[in-house]
Amino acid sequence: MADQKWVYTFQDVEAAEKHVGGVWDKVRGLLGGKGANLADMTRIGIPVPPGFTVTTEACNAYIDGGEKFPEGMWDQELAAMKETEELTGKNFGDTKNPLLVSCRSGAVKSMPGMMDTVLNIGLNDETAKGMVALTGDERFVYDAYRRLVQMFGSVVLGIDDEAFEDILEEHKEKKGVAMDTDLEAEDWKNLTAEFQKIIKKEKGFDFPQDPAEQLRMATEAVFASWNGKRAVDYRNAAGIPHDLGTAVNVMTMVFGNMEEASGTGVAFTRNPSTGENKLWGEYLLNAQGEDVVAGIRNAEQIDGLNDNMPEVYKEFQDITIKLENHYREMQDVEFTIERGKLWMLQTRDGKRTAKAAVQIAVDMVAEGLISKEEAVLKVDTDQVDTLLHPQFDPAEKEKADKEGKMVATGVNASPGAAVGRIYFDANTAEQKSKEEGQDVIMVRPFTKPDDVHGMLASKGILTSEGGATSHAAVVARQFGIPCVVGASDIQISMKERTLVAAGVTIKEGDYLSVDGATGEVFLGEIPSVAPTLEEQTELLVLLTWADEISATKDIRTAPEGWPTRGLMVWANADYPEDARRARSYGAQGIGLCRTEHMFFEPERLPIVQKMIMADNVEDRVEALDILLPYQRSDFDGLFEAMTGLPVIIRLIDPPLHEFMPDEHKLLEEVIANRIQNKVDQAKEDLLVSIQNLHESNPMMGLRGVRLSVVMPEIVSMQVRAIFEAAADVTLRGFDPHPEVMIPLTGHINELHFIQPKLEEIAKAVMEEKGVEFEYKFGTMIEIPRAGLTADEIAGTAEFFSFGTNDLTQFTFGYSRDDAERNFLVKYVEDGILPRNPFQTIDTQGVGQLMDLTVKKGRGTRVDLEVGICGEHGGDPESIDWCYKIGLNYVSCSPFRVPVARLAAAQSAIKNRE
């Protein structure tokens, strides 16, 4: 361990590449995203202040070693500091020409504001005097010194930041000033002394005067912040592993608060809200970077820098273009100008809204910067989902505006419509959301990293301070949370727990509607509407590329009979309206039409119940004959909507008791009648029928194919309705492709019993109607035994469709509803299960059974069509597994079809050899 290299200077990027075998992603894993990019910028000639990075390996060794630095690390850090001294011509701790440094976190995955930063390390009572002599600016020096003491106290020593902020606010109030910039040198000198007293009072020891000790403690604080609550909450929400660790970046301080010719800012190479190809960001003169990022001061738009410092602005523009071309990605940069000299402090891939992600991807292809495949990979499937989320109904919004309900406007930081009850702190917001199930709008003067758990639990965010690059804005855009910041006309009273806007006092728990796209805030609840895919021009382009990628020949080495293309995306749809929506969203077929849903229609349910209560086959058939025209009409509309595409119709699946009234409620009514000496014979008979249907475990009882075997007349009616509808639409010039699915098969003999009878009906209908069309009979794989005997079943079934909800239940031995209610959440939280298996396919168990089923099935029927129609069909991770095991299609809700199209293409790109 003593020989291991723990520290790399920004000039050492080649050594880091050699250490990890030259793979850039591994360099980022070693140095963290920030450290790797600082070294990379240094290599390509961009002005970066000298410094060094302590690796993520050191962080993990520190945590694993009981929070002790690994052997040799601290000596390497001090040696790197010596190299930095040589590059800068300054000395760390020197009283005449002191070197000051910052100490910042930097994980491989960007986590804005979630871990710790300390600025101005190296200042103490003596070096501060030396800095004053060197710069001739006492105000600047003591402003920097008080920042160090304050950040050290809150970040390193864990003292509540409000202890420092309260004294600062009291001091400004006594001076009669509103802004930090209005305070003078003596003010900052006195405040520095006051801040040191707070540390002494709270911790029992003095603020450390030894610069090396400051650096050592700051390094430890950054390491420890990896496992801080806000960082853990953020990683949970973003799906970032907890074992990556963070690097520590130590960089020479450059000062944006030295004079008016100095400043600091944050910018994006493109607009992170809209994707417009225009430099976008904010800056402040005479300020340090935290002032912009924290949103404590309302900053100026970045193009205003051209008026203040045109030469610097031109250099900055050139650098941002160079960075975007170098990384082939929109960049989020931080910079400082010290006495007219521009320094770049960070670059990283910029967080963006869903709309911006799609716009940027499409534009970059048009600009020749990236390929279509790269564009498809740049957009996250969750972002596609977000784009199709509801927005405020324009008519209702206009009405609310006319009624005077628009009470505030601010910066439109993250788009989307959010309605909820307002709460003023993160803990309450999280508690109301998670424990009480409320929709929450979190309202704060400005957010801090410690608020992230409340932000993630909220439907929307509203702040009175801050700008478009503030903490609240960045986090909201990352997670698709509608957000309005800098609504400066609202007054928030944390003491009274109220918000005053446009003269109206809004109490905690009252409703607000927040429009993150326009920056408008309304009283009460505004109804929303779902946008259509046709409105999303750039998304349509991207999804067209995705379909092209999925449709291209698959060059994987695969067994005979596997698809020669990537996954198709079908949809689950029970009604013609659903089918039309699915097709408009790009579905290439219907993977599941649940016929039983049609039985629940009010005018049909009494007929269904009559059929169930029938004492003999004749009476049952009589009721079914009445139902047949209804079913035929339903299928007619589906076939017409999906002309030319396959439609899989599942025959009746649930147990019959589900179509009957609630037994307990009916029993109460019967007993009440009997008490009054009344007899309602219809209800008496109905109760007897329900009691006769009782099963101890109905989900494993008389349902699916078993019901078809016991009461074949039900599915006979359904198949006749299917084929009569297909024949009718064929005669009208449409092209139906019916596929009849028999559910819950567990033994080949079940298919041998029922499928030939149904095929005979199909042939008879086509003869009666004088038409022919292609059709298939297949089965749903929901029972493990069916998978294990798939070679036998494929001899009869022409297609398989995985019903992964039931397959997961039967494989795990879980009752889904009971498991999710009683223990699954705990299992996932405690790491017993990596994720909920009803949301993402359990690839090690259920997934292996699926893989075996496909191989055995195609071993018998080479061209066997295999798909999935459970809820997993819309889950990107599950879709990736379906691609890997050679399924033909996934089927999901119509609203998830665009998500699945993108996920299918991403799987094709990632998995093809």
What is the rounded distance in angstroms from the CA atom of residue 199 to the CA atom of residue 218? 15
Closest CA to 522 of 620, 610, 419: 419
What is the rounded distance in angstroms from the CA atom of residue 43 to the CA atom of residue 55? 19
What is the rounded distance in angstroms from the CA atom of residue 325 to the CA atom of residue 348? 13
Identify the bridge partners of residue 500 per DSSP, sorted by sequence position.
491, 505
The yes-or-no answer on residue 471 being catalytic is: yes
What is the rounded distance in angstroms from the CA atom of residue 884 to the CA atom of residue 882? 5
State the DSSP H helix or E strand holding residue 732, giving kind and residue range, or none if neither: none
What is the rounded distance in angstroms from the CA atom of residue 256 to the CA atom of residue 36? 24
> In 3-state terms, what secondary structure has residue 740?
strand
What is the rounded distance in angstroms from the CA atom of residue 825 to the CA atom of residue 830? 9
Neighbours of 432 (CB within 10 A): 22
| Entry field: residues in the chain | 913
The residue from 19, 471, 657, 737 that is catalytic is 471
What is the rounded distance in angstroms from the CA atom of residue 592 to the CA atom of residue 589? 9
Contacts of 139 (CB under 8 A, 6+ apart): 183, 184, 185, 188
The residue from 869, 872, 882, 892 that is catalytic is 869
What is the rounded distance in angstroms from the CA atom of residue 133 to the CA atom of residue 131? 5
Closest CA to 657 of 631, 690, 628, 682: 690
DSSP 8-state symbol, 153: I
The yes-or-no answer on residue 872 being catalytic is: no
DSSP 8-state symbol, 535: G
> In 3-state terms, what secondary structure has residue 491?
strand
Helix axes 617-641, 605-613, angle to 10 degrees: 140
Phi and psi, residue 282, nearest 5°: -145, 155
Closest CA to 858 of 834, 885, 819: 885
What is the rounded distance in angstroms from the CA atom of residue 510 to the CA atom of residue 651? 48
Angle at 132 between CA 128 and CA 136, to 5 degrees: 165
Phi and psi, residue 346, nearest 5°: -170, 145
The pairs formed by 72-77 with CB atoms below 8 angstroms and a separation of 24 or more are: 72/1, 72/2, 72/3, 72/4, 72/6, 73/6, 73/7, 74/216, 76/5, 76/6, 76/7, 77/6, 77/7, 77/52, 77/215, 77/219, 77/250
Query: How would you label 36-64 residue by residue, b for 16+ Cβ within 10 Å and e otherwise?
Result: bbbbbbbeeebebbbbbbbbbbbbbbbbe
> In 3-state terms, what secondary structure has residue 209?
coil
Helix axes 185-203, 138-151, angle to 10 degrees: 20
Q: Exposed, middle or buried: residue 515 (CB in 10 Å: 0-12, 13-18, 19+)?
A: buried
> In 3-state terms, what secondary structure has residue 591?
strand
Torsion of CA 425, 427, 432, 438, to 10 degrees: 60
DSSP 8-state symbol, 152: I
Catalytic annotation, residues: 471, 869
